[in-house]
Amino acid sequence: MEAFGRSQGQPKTAKIVLIVIFVTLVFLTIIPAFYPLLGYPLYLLKASSPKPSPATAYDSREAELRSSIRISEGEDCDIFSGEWVPNHNAPYYTNTTCWAIHEHQNCMKYGRPDTEFMKWKWKPDGCELPVMNPAQFLEVVRGKSLAFVGDSVGRNQMQSLICLLSRVEYPIDVSQTPDERFKQWKYVTYNFTVAYFWTPHLVKSEEREDNSGPTQTGLFNLYLDEFDERWTTQIEEFNYLIISGGHWFYRPSVFYENHRIVGCHYCLIENVTDFTKFYGYRKAFRPLLKLLTTWKTTKA
Ligand SMILES: *[C@@H]1O[C@H](CO)[C@@H](O)[C@H](O)[C@H]1NC(C)=O
Ligand SMILES: *[C@@H]1O[C@H](CO)[C@@H](O)[C@H](O)[C@H]1NC(C)=O
Ligand SMILES: *[C@@H]1O[C@H](CO)[C@@H](O)[C@H](O)[C@H]1NC(C)=O
């Protein structure tokens, strides 16, 4: 947090690019324990802020982030290497203190008897992550905007953030559409906006009407070289982006490139070659990375 705060002192020209890709499968089962993960983006911000220009290649930026993240003065730490340890101070919010937990996530209300699953924190090998301080966080992001882009992992993280900040303030709903997949919240006192853009495949995609797919989980058309404009046209003004994606590529899908079917993942359609899920996952990052290398934020 403190580090994040210092980044305020950096030149206004600093363009802050933040990418966090989570393989969502791993996390879907531990949604209520999500708050420790929120630490990642916040600390990454610090690492990226001293660089005034964006990296030209994601790989080099990634390597840079991973190799040296300073958690506090004089301390270098790879926050990606560590383990989950018990945290007796958790949870920092419950279903009774935070309304942002949705009905379908309210395990306690529907009878889950244990609470231990909420009491964990991420412990990097080389350092301690400080506990989230909501007042300090809001001070640091005053006048800024943050968007979660991706699947339900992003939505869960947004909800967790709202719950963590709820000790200080609740945001008001300033969504530009009634569509629950595109929420925007504003912290009035801090002029801080949090948004969420639903885009499970990150690229343009749609569920095919003709087929529920071999696994009955839907069959999707993925346009692997096309932007999902529902979010790509909206992010220009945001200061920070947090991107998630992964498990939706496990569902049966038909891959399009250049407006033509090139193959699929377990679609069982005659004469369409099976490329496996990894093809779609890999390809979908290309337009994303292209977009991010040219992404400008007017407010950063
Ligand atoms: C919260 O969970 C408790 C069980 O731990 C349940 O009795 C209560 O109804 C829940 N409250 C809300 C507001 O969901
Ligand atoms: C709120 O922040 C935005 C930038 O996100 C800025 O353009 C606007 O002037 C701010 N409003 C106030 C009242 O400070
Ligand atoms: C699949 O390919 C075979 C061989 O080219 C062709 O005879 C058949 O009509 C094709 N089936 C469909 C549904 O296009």
Q: Per-residue pLDDT tens for 186-226?
A: 999 999 999 999 999 999 999 998 767 888 888 999 999 99
Q: Is the CB of 261 under 6 A from ligand 3?
A: no
Q: What is the pLDDT of residue 177?
A: 95
Q: Is residue 160 part of a domain?
A: yes
Q: What is the pLDDT of residue 83?
A: 97
Whether residue 35 has pLDDT greater than 60: no
User: What count of Cα atoms within 13 Å lies in the side-chain half-sphere of residue 50?
Assistant: 10
Q: Contact at 8 Å (CB) between 225 and 259? A: no
Band (13; pLDDT cuts 50, 70, 90):
very low
Q: What is the pLDDT of residue 211?
A: 67
Specify whether the backbone of 57 is left (phi greater than 0), alpha (psi in -120 to 50) or beta.
Answer: beta
Distance of alpha carbon 159 from alpha carbon 161, whole angstroms: 5
Q: What is the DSSP string of 169-211?
A: -PPEE--SSS-TTEEEEEETTTTEEEEEEE-TTSEEEEE-TT-
Pocket test for ligand 2, best of 191, 237, 298 (most atoms within 8 A of CB): 191
Q: Which atom of ligand 1 is nearest to the CA of 101?
A: 14
Whether residue 151 has pLDDT greater than 90: yes
Q: Sign of the CA dihedral 206, 207, 213, 217?
A: positive
Q: What is the pLDDT of residue 198?
A: 97
Q: Counting ligands in written order, which one lies closest to the CA of residue 269?
A: 3
Edge-to-edge strand list for the sheet holding 145-150: 172-173, 182-187, 192-198, 145-150, 240-243
To the nearest 5 percent, what fractions of the chain are helix, strand and coil? Answer: 30, 20, 45
Q: Is residue 250 part of a domain?
A: yes
**Residue with CA closest to ligand 2 atom 13:** 191
- Number of domains the chain contains: 1
Which domain range does residue 239 map to?
2-294
As a whole number, the mean pLDDT across the chain is 79
Kind and range of the H or E element at 124?
Answer: strand 120-124
DSSP state of 274: B
Q: Is residue 299 part of a domain?
A: no
pLDDT tens digits for 53-76?
333 334 444 444 444 444 555 567
CB burial of residue 206 (10 Å; 0-12, 13-18, 19+): exposed
Q: Contact at 8 Å (CB) between 158 and 148? A: yes
Selected residue with higher pLDDT from 53 and 164: 164
3-class secondary-structure state, position 265: strand
Band (39; pLDDT cuts 50, 70, 90):
very low
Selected residue with higher pLDDT from 251 and 32: 251
Whether residue 11 has pLDDT greater than 60: no
Q: Contact at 8 Å (CB) between 188 and 172? A: yes
Q: Tokens in use for 97? A: 């203190």
Whether residue 40 has pLDDT greater than 50: no
Among the listed residues 260, 253, 256, the one whose alpha carbon sits nearest the alpha carbon of residue 287: 256
CA of 208 to the centre of ligand 2 (A): 42
Q: Is residue 14 part of a domain?
A: yes
Q: Is the CB of 209 under 6 A from ligand 3?
A: no
Q: Is residue 300 part of a domain?
A: no
Q: Which atom of ligand 3 is nearest to the CA of 270?
A: 13
Q: Counting ligands in written order, which one lies closest to the CA of residue 299?
A: 2
Distance of alpha carbon 58 from alpha carbon 197, whole angstroms: 22
Q: Which atom of ligand 2 is nearest to the CA of 144?
A: 5
Band (242; pLDDT cuts 50, 70, 90):
very high
